[in-house]
């Protein structure tokens, strides 16, 4: 079975690739988890994030943005001190801040994000011709709007990675079995 090259480094990445990466996420809480994990991933490898994901879920109320809005400063400091999570205060504060932004949106987080792709996954490379420039144009447009709406810790690279992971963009390699599986959704 042919997979995207990045996923063949270890069994954990392979399982993530086969069962999660690039599958369209429509449920807002799960989509927020994908977004938060991309924040935690910045500067780290994805294997590190996957190893800490369960600890993050347990400590961060399963990434429910409405629950995260209720955390006190003391509880946020407890999260920062928790050895089960990625203890980067800047990233943790960004997740809490972004949860507050999500809670204030006039729509669901899912509708907010999916409107950037007209509520249908973009198929790469057929739609974008695998153009790095086209990919970054989309990411920059999303980032610009997210920043206007109050989101933090959003840049073109981590937002593009988020769009890929959450299935808004089918960016599996064309030779990968998942590209074709997801192309028929």
Question: Which residues are tagged catalytic?
Answer: 16, 38, 46
Structural tokens at position 17: 């690739």
* Closest C-alpha among 14, 4, 23, 67 to residue 169: 23
Token pair 């447009």 in the structure block, residue: 141
Q: How far is CA 29 from CA 64, 65, 103, 117, 166, in A?
A: 5, 7, 11, 19, 12
* CA–CA–CA angle 92, 17, 50 (5° rounding): 30
Q: Are 63 and 29 in contact (CB under 8 A)?
A: yes
* CA gyration radius, the chain: 16
Cβ proximity of 139 and 157 under 8 Å? yes
Tokens of residue 156, six digits: 């073109």
Rounded Cα distance between 39 and 168, Å, is: 17
- Per the structure block, which two tokens stand in for 132? 């790095």
């Amino acid at each position: 079975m042919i997979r995207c090259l990045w996923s063949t480094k270890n069994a954990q990445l392979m399982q993530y690739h086969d069962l999660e990466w690039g599958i369209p996420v429509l449920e807002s809480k799960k989509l927020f988890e994908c977004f938060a994990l991309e924040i935690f991933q910045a500067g780290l490898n994805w294997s590190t994030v996957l190893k800490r994901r369960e600890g993050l879920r347990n400590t961060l109320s399963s990434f429910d943005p409405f629950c995260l809005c209720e955390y006190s400063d003391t509880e946020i400091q407890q999260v920062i001190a928790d050895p089960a999570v990625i203890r980067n205060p800047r990233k943790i504060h960004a997740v809490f801040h972004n949860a507050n932004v999500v809670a204030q949106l006039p729509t669901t987080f899912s509708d907010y994000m999916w409107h950037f792709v007209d509520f249908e996954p973009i198929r790469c490379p057929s739609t974008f011709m695998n153009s790095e420039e086209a990919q970054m144009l989309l990411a920059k447009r999303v980032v610009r709007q997210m920043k206007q709406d109050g989101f933090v810790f959003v840049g073109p690279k981590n937002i593009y990675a988020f769009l890929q992971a959450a299935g808004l963009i089918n960016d599996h390699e064309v030779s990968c079995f998942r590209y074709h599986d997801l192309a028929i959704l």
